[in-house]
């Protein structure tokens, strides 16, 4: 980013790193989400997703706090730039749009991803049967076909339906957060381009004078 002060450079780098870090953490969930969100869920995809999120909710609280800290840094830096009016009117538009998308991503995650995650049992919880355990000894050759909008609890009779719904809610929330954070990065790129053009025209005017 081409900005006038080192403080502004540090602020924008903090926003960029924060959004990129959070977007990267969402991409790591792709192994669990792609089989339940983008295609008709199967027993294998739901088993993979449930096993993944059981391990995720079992991570230490200190690691979970890192995500909250990084998100707080990003929003704080956006608020600082918005209130101080760095870069003029055009930059203010980019700052406001980035703050809106960043806040949307955080709100969606905390309102629509964390509650379903709280319903996922820990990996050390032995009271729950494995998600791939079926009541039948031999799986049928042709499992029932389902639309993406159906709750596929018939494929996992030993798994509570609320867990299956939670997995799909988490996947949808992760997708919305990823789209919002991608928008933040695009607005930051637009801000950088506008600032570059401003600096270029300023240098050309100085040469003509």
- Give yes or no for residue 117 having a pLDDT over 70: yes
* CB of 119 closer than 8 Å to CB of 170: no
pLDDT digits (tens, 9 = 90+) for 15-41: 999 999 999 999 999 999 988 887 777
> pLDDT tens, 150-160?
444 444 555 67
**What separation, in Å, do the N-terminal and C-terminal C-alpha atoms of the chain show?**
26
Q: What value does the mean pLDDT take over residues 194-208?
A: 77
Decide which of 195 and 71 is more confident.
71
Position 143 pLDDT exceeds 60? no
pLDDT at 5: 66
Best CA proximity match to 180, nearest among 113, 83, 80, 81: 113
185 alpha-carbon distance from chain centroid: 13
Per-residue pLDDT, 20:
96
115, 17, 8: which is closest to 66 by C-alpha?
17
Residue appearing with tokens 């798994």: 159
Mean pLDDT within 132-156: 41
Looking at residue 105, its pLDDT comes to 97
What pLDDT is stored for residue 67 in this prediction?
A: 94
pLDDT at site 159? 63
- 0.75 exceeded by the pTM? yes
Q: Report the alpha-carbon distance of residue 193 to residue 162 in Å, rounded.
A: 47
> CA–CA separation, 139 vs 79, rounded Å?
55
Q: What is the mean pLDDT of the chain?
A: 79
**Which one of 72-86, 87-101, 107-121 scores highest in mean pLDDT?**
107-121
């Amino acid at each position: 980013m081409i900005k006038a002060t080192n403080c502004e450079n540090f602020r924008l780098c903090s926003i960029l790193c924060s959004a990129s870090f959070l977007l990267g953490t969402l991409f790591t969930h792709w192994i669990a989400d792609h089989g339940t969100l983008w295609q008709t869920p199967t027993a294998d995809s739901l088993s993979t997703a449930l096993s993944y999120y059981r391990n995720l909710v079992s991570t230490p609280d200190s690691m979970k706090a890192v995500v909250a800290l990084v998100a707080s840094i990003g929003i704080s830096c956006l608020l600082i730039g918005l209130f101080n009016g760095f870069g003029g009117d055009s930059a203010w538009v980019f700052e406001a749009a980035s703050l809106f998308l960043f806040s949307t991503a955080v709100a969606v995650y905390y309102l629509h991803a964390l509650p379903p995650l709280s319903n996922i049992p820990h990996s050390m919880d032995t009271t729950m049967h494995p998600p791939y355990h079926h009541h039948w000894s031999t799986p049928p050759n042709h499992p029932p076909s389902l639309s993406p909008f159906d709750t596929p609890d018939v494929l996992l009779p030993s798994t509570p339906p609320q867990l299956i719904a939670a997995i799909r809610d988490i996947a949808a929330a992760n997708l919305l957060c990823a789209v919002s954070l991608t928008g933040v990065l695009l607005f930051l790129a637009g801000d950088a381009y506008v600032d570059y053009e401003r600096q270029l025209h300023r240098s050309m005017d100085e040469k003509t004078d």
